[in-house]
């Protein structure tokens, strides 16, 4: 089952043709390239760029941060932790490194360490709603939904239009038992079809599979082309041994 996720060419100034032109910022260009490749999730190219940055500027934290993220996303957890810790050794106030290390610890179930680094990232950059969102989502993911709710509200005050934060808040409300507020946040965080699909997923997490089935049906009716709800409905119908509604059990339906 899955909820609805809410998660180019660089132009460099020429330095040719002028005797007084600035010396090109080669390391800056390498950092920008590596960052862009990580953002695009082009992991082989991102690794090559980040690894070159580590070799070219071993006393700077950025290469280790970016290479650590690549290692993490490729499942090389020991290597990821070593690089991210090296980045923090070189710059202990690097919020992005704290955040990246926290996400690694979340995947390992090391909730206390994850929270420590999520909070350090948020404290270092208090205007960054993404770091506050990560604090809240980590609390939710580790079974502390009630503690997550005020943190996610704080993140929303910094970025009220961020759909990802609204949906995370919806899941936290659902996990704490407040399904009406959960539905309200889902409705504000996406289309009607996305909201119903997320509500179905929240019902499933609570073991309310019949209500989840109905929510998925509403989601598919709202947007017959939405793949997540169609997959969830087909799977749950099979698990519950339930027939699909007649309007969906057609060649054009699920």
Extents of the domains making up the chain: 34-115, 126-189, 191-246
Asked whether the CA dihedral 134, 139, 145, 149 is positive or negative, the reply is negative
User: Is the CB of residue 200 less than 8 Å from the CB of residue 229?
Assistant: yes
Give the pLDDT of residue 197.
97
Give the pLDDT of residue 1.
52
* Local structure of 177: helix, strand or coil: coil
Using CA atoms of 6, 7, 9, 13 in order, give the dihedral in degrees to the nearest 10: 110
Tokens of 191: 């289309």
User: Is the CB of residue 201 less than 8 Å from the CB of residue 3?
Assistant: yes
Domain 191-246: state its class.
mainly alpha
User: Is the CB of residue 94 less than 8 Å from the CB of residue 65?
Assistant: yes
191-246 has the same fold as 34-115 = yes
What is the gyration radius of the CA atoms in the chain, in angstroms? 22
The pTM (predicted TM-score) of the whole model is 0.83
Q: Could you read off the pLDDT of 106-160 as tens digits, one per residue?
A: 999 999 999 999 999 999 999 999 999 999 999 999 999 999 999 999 999 999 9
Cα 142–chain centre separation: 16
pLDDT band at 254 (very low <50, low <70, confident <90, very high): low
User: Is the CB of residue 67 less than 8 Å from the CB of residue 47?
Assistant: yes
pLDDT band at 11 (very low <50, low <70, confident <90, very high): very low
Give the pLDDT of residue 28.
84
Neighbours of 209 (CB within 10 A): 15
126-189: which CATH topology? 1.25.40
34-115: which CATH topology? 1.25.40
Cα 135–chain centre separation: 12
């Amino acid at each position: 089952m899955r909820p609805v996720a809410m998660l180019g060419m660089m132009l460099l100034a020429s330095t040719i043709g002028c005797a007084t032109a600035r010396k090109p910022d080669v390391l800056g260009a390498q950092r920008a390239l590596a960052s862009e490749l990580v953002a695009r999730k082009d992991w082989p190219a991102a690794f090559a760029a980040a690894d070159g940055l580590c070799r070219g500027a071993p006393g700077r934290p950025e290469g280790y941060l970016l290479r650590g993220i690549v290692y993490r996303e490729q499942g090389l957890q020991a290597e990821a932790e070593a690089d991210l810790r090296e980045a923090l050794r070189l710059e202990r106030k690097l919020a992005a490194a704290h955040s990246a290390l926290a996400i690694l610890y979340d995947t390992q179930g090391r909730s206390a360490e994850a929270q420590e680094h999520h909070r350090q990232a948020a404290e270092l950059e208090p205007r960054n709603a993404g770091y506050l969102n990560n604090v809240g989502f980590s609390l939710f993911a580790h079974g502390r939904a009630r503690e997550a709710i005020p943190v996610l509200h704080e993140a929303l005050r910094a970025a009220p239009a961020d759909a990802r934060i609204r949906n995370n808040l919806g899941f936290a409300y659902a996990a704490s038992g407040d399904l009406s507020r959960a539905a309200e946040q889902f409705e504000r965080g996406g289309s009607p079809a996305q909201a119903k699909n997320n509500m179905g997923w929240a019902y499933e997490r609570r073991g309310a599979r019949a209500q989840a089935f109905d929510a998925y049906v509403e989601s598919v009716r709202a947007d017959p082309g939405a793949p997540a709800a169609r997959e969830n409905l087909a799977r749950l119908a099979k698990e519950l041994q339930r027939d699909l509604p007649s309007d969906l059990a057609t060649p054009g339906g699920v």
